[in-house]
Amino acid sequence: MNKSILVLGAGGHATVVVDILRQLNFNIIGLVAAEPVKHQPVFAGIACYTSDDDVLAFNINDVLLVNAIGSLPGQDVRFKVHQKFKKLGYRFMTLVAPTAVVSLYAELSEGVQVMPGAIINANSRIGEGSIINTGAIVEHDCTIGAHNHLAPGAKLSGGVSTGDYVHIATGANVIQGMSIGEHTIVGAGATVTKNLDSNKTLYVAKPFLV
């Protein structure tokens, strides 16, 4: 826990990330964000840097990066930042909220973020840079690709596998044993009961408004 932490991003996801880092008593030495950082208590007292180039002033052995850029379908900023700094030799912190439940028999790759109340059961593996967001569930024997985002309250039953860059949106469900191809999006509230190819989007059946 001795390394200094540089947080990349200062939006909504970053507020939860910094909140967790503070709970874990990490030493946050800066926020890096192109846009001006909104004043808010969770960021109080943290130095702000405005350019990715500012990261380069820190030796790769002295800092750990935390990618706090959010992940929404169709956006690739989060992934590109990860890849850029990895190539330069920087390391990304694997972050687990103190209220998350991660089995001792699960494996988290570099840069994975397990947010408050999320659960990952035995024999599941989470690929590099993926977010298992607030209250999401990954049952036993799942294999999650790199740079996935399981949004808040997403639920994966046992033995699910996903390719890279998969987005499983808020409250979506995946039954046991399903396979989901890379770059596929499971829409908010949608339920996967058949394997999904790559580059698809599954939408929940339309609700009706009265």
Alpha-carbon torsion (106, 20, 2, 130), positive or negative? positive
Q: What is the distance between the alpha carbons of residues 195 and 74, in angstroms, rounded to a whole number?
A: 21
Question: How near is the Cβ of 77 to its own copies at its closest, in Å?
Answer: 16
Nearer to its own copies, 140 or 147 (CB): 140
Question: How near is the Cβ of 32 to its own copies at its closest, in Å?
Answer: 19
Nearer to its own copies, 1 or 104 (CB): 104
Q: What is the distance between the alpha carbons of residues 144 and 120, in angstroms, rounded to a whole number?
A: 11
Q: By CB under 8 A, name the binding residues for its own copies.
A: 12-13, 15-16, 18-19, 22, 40-42, 70, 72, 99, 101, 103-105, 116-117, 119, 121-123, 133-135, 137, 139-141, 151-153, 155-159, 169-176, 187-193, 196, 200-210
Q: What is the distance between the alpha carbons of residues 86 and 64, in angstroms, rounded to a whole number?
A: 11
Our answer to whether residue 39 is catalytic in this structure is: no
Distance set, CA 206 to CA 14, 72, 98, 188, 203 (Å): 32, 21, 37, 11, 8
Closest Cα partner for 114 from 128, 100, 103? 100
Nearer to its own copies, 130 or 184 (CB): 184
Question: How near is the Cβ of 173 to its own copies at its closest, in Å?
Answer: 3
Q: How many Cβ atoms sit within 10 Å of the Cβ of residue 148? A: 25
Question: How near is the Cβ of 51 to its own copies at its closest, in Å?
Answer: 25
**Any idea what the Cα angle at residue 15 is, between residues 161 and 51, rounded to 5°?**
95
Nearer to its own copies, 83 or 176 (CB): 176
* Active-site option among 13, 82, 140, 147: 140
Catalytic residue ranges: 140
